[in-house]
Amino acid sequence: MRLPLFLILCLTILLTSCSQYQEVLRKDDMGKKYALADSLYRTGKFKKGLKLMEQLVPAYRGKPQGEKLMYIYANTYYNLEDYYLAGYQFERFTQAYPMSDSIEVASFKSAKSFYQLSPRYSLDQRDTYKGLEKLQEFINDYPNSDKRPEANALVAELRNKLEKKEFEVAKQYLRVEDYKAAIEAFDNFITDNPGSIYRKDAFYGRFVSAYKLAINSIPVLVQERLRDAKGHYNNFIKYYKDTDLAPQALEYYQDIESKLVPLETEPTI
């Protein structure tokens, strides 16, 4: 079977291009390596360009071309979604070239790389804290940047993830019936996260935990703990009386009222 002429031409060009690339990669001509790496970067062939840049970056350190080369080296990792190395290389760039015209973009991409490394909320959140730190540094360093709105949105997203993790830990205590730990965890969450989207559920969770602690206590502790639960209900209903959780909270409250023994009044003298 004879191949069409167009296909033969394409294969010839491809093979020639590959052989030229391998030749430049093997030889020590840094000028040709630099020109080819730049061409590959501009045409979006990041994986091939990266192999050349790995050879070029040490050779051009301290030279005029070093600034551009180090930036596109970091950005190549970013475009390849290798955010760990992208963040590291952009940090190196900002340290090496603090007066560069690309310093703001590099700082933002460094911070965003750490944001990209943040895992889902149920996993260890060290990278989330690192992302928050880097994004906040960018916001502080470039308060008038046009990238500030995006940076603020990323900060909000990461904070929400940390809040969700903390909230889910409190819920887990409630699910496993460790009511004392649940009350403490919900209480800490409410104190530490005044603007959280989970605040309503945290108030409700604290009340339910206190209610269940009370009704499952030994008799001598029941009344005191019912009164504590009633106090948590009052705090919940103060802010969330018109929410979807209010009807169920009311049922628990009515059960508390039915079980509470009125406090004895002090005799008058």
105, two tokens: 């973009």
The domains found in the chain, sorted by start residue, are: 24-103 (1.25.40.10)
Q: What is the pLDDT of residue 269?
A: 46
- Taking the chain (269 residues) in runs of 10, the rounded mean pLDDT of each run is 48 51 76 88 93 90 90 97 97 95 97 96 94 96 97 97 97 98 98 96 98 97 97 97 97 96 57
87, two tokens: 């963040």
* Packing angle of the helix pair 66-79, 30-42 (nearest 10 deg): 40
Q: Could you count the other beta carbons within 10 Å of the beta carbon of residue 111?
A: 28
CA distances from 110 to 51, 92, 201, 226 (A): 21, 10, 35, 52
Specify the pTM. Answer: 0.82
Degrees (nearest 5) of the Cα angle 157, 130, 126?
90
Q: What is the pLDDT of residue 268?
A: 46
